[in-house]
Structure 1
Amino acid sequence: MNARIATPVKPTVVNADAVVRSARTVIATEAAAIRALESRIDASFVEACHLILGCKGRIVVSGMGKSGHIARKIAATLASTGTPAFFVHPGEASHGDLGMIMPDDILLAISYSGETDELLFILPAIKRQGIPMISITGSPKSSLASQANVNLDAGIPSEACPLGLAPTASTTAALVVGDALAIALLEARGFTADDFARSHPAGSLGRRLLLHIADVMHSGEDVPRVGPDASLTQALVEMTRKHLGMTAVVDAEGHLLGVFTDGDLRRALDDDGVDLRGATVAELMTRGPKTIGSDKLAVEAAQLMEQHQIHALLVVDAEQRVVGALNIHDLLRARVV
């Protein structure tokens, strides 16, 4: 059997100047398209915001092809910034998914031409339910725009594609209009960073804004603590057992008297006047240590540690009783820092 000899493929020669020029042209074209949108943020935009703010249901975002990809992103942005929204594929809508759209909802339809068949096909059913529609189109005189309660003009001077075929600047413009809607609504609702974190609990912002000291601290028997009369050896044994690089020094009722740390040990070793065999931990401890409450945010502990150049904190209640402890490694594991 004769083996075929593969014909080597000649690598395409890239003209560096040409590709850089092309990329810069695309960026300039799309930037010009976005700048042209500013003058079109007018009464129609305000009316669209008014409609959405008064919506008792959800915003149903729909679009076909590349506009569909943009519609999905706009729906996600609305939902994460305080405006309940989801995407419905217009082709699937006419095969049963129209049942997802309820009378209290609003349809946000995206089509640059404003003549997308799949969207126009479902409009009679939308109209029969009395559902308001906002359209984002590049043609205010299009069929979709004329049937919408409000049309947002996302027209562009030209596509970035040199053939004028691939949606490029037009999809960017639609995306920017959608983002403008989402942020205007966010500000109108008084949506806060805490609200955002509640819908992003797994993200870094969610961890920073939702995770409390009580969620990450060591508590109960895991908290290193000794009495003021404990010897240096007893304090070191407790520190070693609890792996936090410190121990709280407490009275009989658990009230904080001080903290003994690795740093206190080094200072004691350097002090020739200290009798390490006979000294109690109360003589070597740091009085008035930095503490934090269990109801505080974990990120506040990180800030306190950074501000005072320390690596661990004791957690106390309102009566200054020690209820927990944490160190920088606990915050790292929780991905707060």
Structure 2
Amino acid sequence: MVHPAAHDVATFSFADAGRRVFATEVDGLQAVAARLDGEFSAACARMLACRGRVVCTGMGKSGHIARKIAATLASTGTPAFYVHPGEAGHGDLGMITDADVVLALSYSGESDEILMLLPVLKRQGNPLIAMTGRPTSTLAAAAEVHLDISVPAEACPLALAPTSSTTASLAMGDALAVALLEARGFTADDFARSHPAGALGRRLLLHIRDVMHGGDAIPAVAADASLADALMEMSRKRLGMTVVVDDAGRLIGLFTDGDLRRTLTDPAMDVRSARIADVMTRDPTSVEADALAVEAARLMETRKITMLPVVDGDRRVVGALNIQDLLRARVV
């Protein structure tokens, strides 16, 4: 059966409908942003002073937003977690300690599952921050701080599905998280420590010493070695290179697969009698082990090279690194 309000798909503009949603939600965000005031600052102050964690809760769509806000807070330096209000009434309330701040989301401000928790939270002394669309609601009146996320209209033309209101709630959560992040002086390194498995974590936490070849795996020959000896070392270590070092182990040169190809095509070169010192690249680009792996990747890209010797402060060779090592570590 075709609904009487259904449009002719052949003539209906999906793009126009989508643009109307964006326009409506932008209007809602602007309305909420215009109301950011002392209540927002008070909410941030309570969360910043929290000795425990920020406990986010909400039912239905508000619950989904509350869960995302908790995740954003936790990953940006504010310890937080989500508690389902229905489950809280059946034992999970024990997860909330008297050191925690509670952030409760309900657009109507009248969600029974949340209101049921209020007496317990009040007895326990938990500061309550409410995020609602009705400043006169029961939840707003019970809260120490109320964040008004009311919007002029939902993007749903039936005004039934939470759309603009949930977008406003999500944006308010982001605003809280970022304001707290800035107040704490939270850095990219701090973020990476809580995201060690992510791309940013790898870029900011992984050092060259974590991915380089060291010890006996380093292909190395002395400056007086023959080219044949160098090729044997390269074949054994299988890194496509060998470093050339002095008696103290300091880097003086590098010989790579590319150097070998150039040597073999040089008609003036007798490869059987050549010494590595005659064909190596002198004073090659190198990197220190304490540098970030991403710095090695950037250096390789800039210099158009695919391998690097790794040295210490006295230019003694402590490792070897090639582009494949960085690819395996997912740095590039």
Of the candidates 303, 310, 321, which is equivalent to residue 305 of structure 2?
Answer: 310
Q: What is the identity, as a one-letter code, of the residue corresponding to 1:79?
A: A
**2:248 match: secondary structure:** coil
Q: Alpha-carbon deviation of 1:13?
A: 6.9
Gaps of 5+ in 1: 1-11
Measured against aligned partners, the alpha-carbon deviations of 1:64-92 in whole angstroms (never above 9, x if no partner) come to: 00000000000000000000000001111
Q: Percent identity?
A: 64
Of the candidates 208, 212, 219, which is equivalent to residue 217 of structure 1?
Answer: 212
Structure 1 counterpart of 2:323? 328
Measured against aligned partners, the alpha-carbon deviations of 1:67-120 in whole angstroms (never above 9, x if no partner) come to: 000000000000000000000011111111111111110000000001111101
Alignment of 1:193-212 (within 5 A): 193-212=188-207
Of the candidates 118, 138, 145, which is equivalent to residue 113 of structure 2?
Answer: 118
**1:155 match: secondary structure:** coil
Of the candidates 60, 63, 66, which is equivalent to residue 68 of structure 1?
Answer: 63
Task: Pick closer, same or farther for the CA change 1:68–1:327 going to 2, 3 Å.
Answer: same
Structure-2 separation of matches of 1:92 and 1:30:
31
Structure-2 separation of matches of 1:20 and 1:279:
71
Structure 2 counterpart of 1:5? none
Residue 266 of structure 1 pairs with residue 261 of structure 2: yes
Measured against aligned partners, the alpha-carbon deviations of 1:116-159 in whole angstroms (never above 9, x if no partner) come to: 11101100000001110111110111110111110011000111
Alignment of 1:163-182 (within 5 A): 163-182=158-177
Structure-2 separation of matches of 1:94 and 1:264:
72
**1:205 match: secondary structure:** helix
Identify the range of structure 1 (238-247 vs 17-26) with the bigger mean alpha-carbon deviation.
17-26
Structure-1 separation of matches of 2:215 and 2:232:
18
Of the candidates 18, 21, 30, which is equivalent to residue 35 of structure 1?
Answer: 30
Structure 1 counterpart of 2:4? none
Structure-1 separation of matches of 2:236 and 2:131:
64
**1:17 match: secondary structure:** coil
The number of residues matched between the two structures is 326
Q: Alpha-carbon deviation of 1:316?
A: 0.9
Q: What is the identity, as a one-letter code, of the residue corresponding to 1:87?
A: Y
Structure 2 counterpart of 1:103? 98
Q: What is the identity, as a one-letter code, of the residue corresponding to 2:238?
A: H
Structure 2 counterpart of 1:79? 74
Structure-2 separation of matches of 1:225 and 1:105:
58
Structure-1 separation of matches of 2:149 and 2:101:
19
**1:49 match: secondary structure:** helix
Structure-2 separation of matches of 1:161 and 1:81:
32
* CA RMSD between the two structures: 1.3
Q: What is the identity, as a one-letter code, of the residue corresponding to 1:295?
A: D
Structure 2 counterpart of 1:137? 132
Structure-2 separation of matches of 1:221 and 1:13:
73
Structure 2 counterpart of 1:8? none
**1:157 match: secondary structure:** coil
Of the candidates 215, 234, 248, which is equivalent to residue 239 of structure 1?
Answer: 234
Structure 2 counterpart of 1:21? 16
Structure-1 separation of matches of 2:237 and 2:294:
23
Structure-1 separation of matches of 2:10 and 2:291:
58
Q: Alpha-carbon deviation of 1:16?
A: 5.4
Q: Flag as ranges the 4+ runs of structure 1 deviating above 6 A.
A: none
Structure 2 counterpart of 1:286? 281
Q: Alpha-carbon deviation of 1:270?
A: 3.5
Structure 2 counterpart of 1:46? 41
Residue 255 of structure 1 pairs with residue 276 of structure 2: no
Q: What is the identity, as a one-letter code, of the residue corresponding to 1:311?
A: T
Structure 2 counterpart of 1:7? none
Structure-2 separation of matches of 1:110 and 1:148:
11
Structure-2 separation of matches of 1:13 and 1:236:
74
TM-score, L = length of structure 2: 0.95
Gaps of 5+ in 2: 1-6
**2:126 match: secondary structure:** coil
